[in-house]
Structure 1
Amino acid sequence: MTTTIWAILIGTLGGLAVFCVLWACLRPAPINLTAALGRIDNPDQRPQPWADRLADWALASGSDPNSRWWGYPLAELDLVGISPGRYLLRRLTWAGIGGGLVALCWLTLVMTGAAVPAELAAFGVLGGSMAGIVVPALALREEVAAVREEFRRGLAVYLDLVAQERATGRAPAQALREASGISDSRVFRRIRATLGHAVHSGITPWVALTELGDRVGVPELADLAAIMSSASDGAAVYTSLTAQAKSLRQAALSADRAEANARSERLDLPVTVLLIGFLILLLYPTVSRLLIGQ
């Protein structure tokens, strides 16, 4: 029995190693010229590998895209730049890791002679897979919150730059495009791509920014679009832009202050436990002598 299990384990690891070597040696797929040209008209269009097709099938079969744990939150995935297929691969990988760890523990116990029922091991593998498939959802929530916060902070800088461009006499649309080319951060790249797509699509930049704000969940972009829309009618918007930028910076400072306070509060418990341990270490000799003397 033990020899058979070892043979299965060694064979599985050997097959996995051969698969990894073959995967690394395979040449990349040829460029699909039709798909590349199609992305000029639709920059959000991506190639459709098997994982993306499987994710599309899951969405079409009734999977709730708004489900926190089992769906495909398309808006959040678009914000962090992850395709549904890649997200599906992450979930399947973590499910395999969770189930594989439980199976490895079961094999270890069997090889040591412990009697573990196969039914219990099957339930354990299922539970480990279910726990592993939730890990990418938790990681996505944290990443989305961080990207949205980065977007708001970058937007404060972008507002100041747009205000400066307007102060030099630039037209509203030109001010938006010129300001977006100052930096190469993720926020500026996303705004620059959105404005470029608006030019090729024939829509106004403020409409494109409003749609971008709805997609990424940053309503401050819609406020910027409303301000620049009024600027196209001849309104002076320098004060409004700088006030909006100041408001975003104050909100960021408040968030940093709240985070610092929360971390300081989380340090209270370890410090308290350390002090209690130190007191026990000091009082232990005296208490032990008293007890021995009695």
Structure 2
Amino acid sequence: MTGWNASDIPDQSGRTAVVTGANSGIGYVTARELARRGARVVLACRSEERGTRALELLRSEVPSAQAEFGRLDLGDLGSVRSFVASYDRAEPGGGLDLLINNAGVMALPYRQTADGFESQFGVNHLGHFALTGLLLPRLLRTPGARIVTVSSAFHALSNIDMGDLNSERNYRRWIAYGRSKTANLLFTHELARRLAAGGSDVVAAAAHPGYAETNLQAAGPRMEGRKFAERVMWLGNRVLAQPATAGALPSLHAATARGVRPDSFTGPRVLGWQGAPGKSWRAKWTLNDGAAERLWAASEGLTGVRWPEPSSPSGV
């Protein structure tokens, strides 16, 4: 592969990163490569079994790694608060250099989170909205901190519907997925605006992996016992997808490369599908200031997480 790759990641020694969904796929690769470059990495995962197994694998692949597991279920706001509280007890007053909002679910049958939200909107957007808000004081007091939220090219499937954020009227799994990924981009857009207005140098950016081989594609069919659809997804991954090592590069670029701009959207250069990371196309509705503000207000109401002013290091 030509262009920016993992060998171009600058030295991360002395930096701390939290990576959600780091037990597999692009999340695991992101955590591993940051650790390889010297960062201390927290693998924030829902399953303790899978998370600790990933931690063991990472330590075997990078013997010098400073890495640890933290239990985080983005589909349960209580778990989000518990994760942050545990982090605060372990490191009172400490900073945070990188928050990689990577975890997600894709095209699942209709389910609700522990708090009653449609699962894709709840996990992909609201869980990360709450996590970022609760960790923001640490990020604000860390020079050069970055927040990278992983969206998808599939955001182009649908704008959000402010009148039906939980897809209660007419649930279509792929449309709901597209809406959740649009929400990721609107969140980044509004977060970048608020940080700039507060005079903060924290960079909020977004990325997407293109078509990368992960566990996401087959999860929905597997949950419903649709063996043929699961097989099709598996074959698509084998034939068409780029490996997770390549799919993680846009996230790593957004998190570490020099000159990354606030509210930028990084993805594979070749048709948004594969290749080295570069500037990615995004639907014009993801840059709508009014929609971003309305989604922000709704997200605060739904999660109960009220954000501090970016100029202030006070808690939420």
TM-score (norm 1): 0.21
TM-score (norm 2): 0.20
Highest RCO, 1 vs 2 (Cα 8 Å, sep ≥ 6): 2
